[in-house]
Structure 1
Amino acid sequence: MIKVLPHTTMLDAALQDGSLEAVFGVAFANGKSITDELVVGETLQSSGLKFKPSVMAPIADPDKAQVSVMAGQTLLDLAVQELGSLEAVFGLGLLNSLPPTAELTTSQKIDFNINPFNKKVAQTFRNNSWKPASATTSAPAGQPPLPNLEGVDYWAIEVDFKVQ
C-alpha cells in the first residue's frame, strides 16, 4: 500500500513502491494515468512488480559525505550542483528516501555517496562555487515577498482561464 502525501506524484508513488520503473505498474494497478493528480490521504495499491533500483548500483561511492541544503534548494538543484546532471535526481531521491519533488529545509542533510553522472559539469559547479537555489515558493529571509505574476504571459489555458 502506498500512502499519498502532499505533493506526491505518480513518480513519487512508484519510488515508494520500490523503483522508478514501477510507475506504469502503479498507475495501471490503480486505474490511473502517470500524469493524474493524486489525492492527499488516498491509498494506492502496489504494482506487485519487483524491480531492483537500476539507478544506484553502478554509481555508489561510500566515501562521499553529506551536503547541507541551502535556502531555496531542491533535489534537482543538488543533483546538478553535486552530480552534474538533472537525471541524477532519481538516484539521489532513492538514496535519501525522498521523492524528486520533495520540499527541502535549510540545513537539511542529504546523503551524496554517488559518483557524479557528468564529472565536467559537477567540477564546473565546484570550481565556480555555484550553488543553484531554484525553489520559488517563498522569498528568502530578509527579502520582500515574491510578486504574484499576472497577465497573458503567465496564464495557462484551462488553468487560469477557460476557452469557450
Structure 2
Amino acid sequence: MPDIAVQECGNIEAAFDIARLNGLSLTDELKTGQTLDIACTTACTESVVGKLAADGVKPATAPSAEEVEAAPYGGIGYMGIEIDFVVK
C-alpha cells in the first residue's frame, strides 16, 4: 500500500487515506487485478508522481514470474544480474 501511495499521490502519507477508503490495513496483501479507490487527501506531490511516470518507475509493481524464477532464492547474499543490478 505505501508503494501505491507514492506512485499515485507522490507521498507515503497517502497510504493511510487509501487504506481507510478501501477498508484495508496498510499491511494487507493485495490481489492481482484488485481495484482500489484512490483519493489523495493529503497534499499530492505532483513532482514525485511526474518523475516516476517520466522514468517509467512503478514502485507498486511486484516482481514478475520471470524475475522470481531468475533469482528464486533472493534476499541477502543472493543477487540476480539484470534484476538486482545491471552489468554495463
Q: TM-score, normalised by structure 2?
A: 0.65
Measured in 2, the distance between the counterparts of 1:140 and 1:122 equals 23
Determine which structure has the larger strand proportion and give its number. Answer: 1
Larger radius of gyration: 1
Report the equivalent of 1:130.
57
Uncovered stretches (5+) of structure 2, i.e. residues with no partner = 78-88
2:38 to 104, 112, 122: 112
Deviation at 1:129, TM superposition (A): 2.5
Work out which of the residue numbers 83, 89, 94 in structure 1 matches 2:20.
94
**Aligned partners of 1:99, 1:121: CA distance in 2, in Å?**
24
Point out where structure 1 has 5 or more consecutive residues left out of the alignment. Answer: 1-74, 151-164
Partner residue in 1 for 2:85: none
Distance 1:146 1:133 in 2: 21
Return the alpha-carbon distance in structure 1 between the equivalents of residues 3 and 75 of structure 2: 23
SS in 2 for 1:121: helix
Q: Which runs of 4+ in 1 moved over 4 A?
A: none
- What is the aligned residue count? 73
Considering fraction of residues, name the structure with more helix: 2
CA RMSD of aligned residues (A): 2.4
Map of 1:69-80 to 2, 5 A cutoff?
A: 75-80=1-6
Q: Percent identity?
A: 34
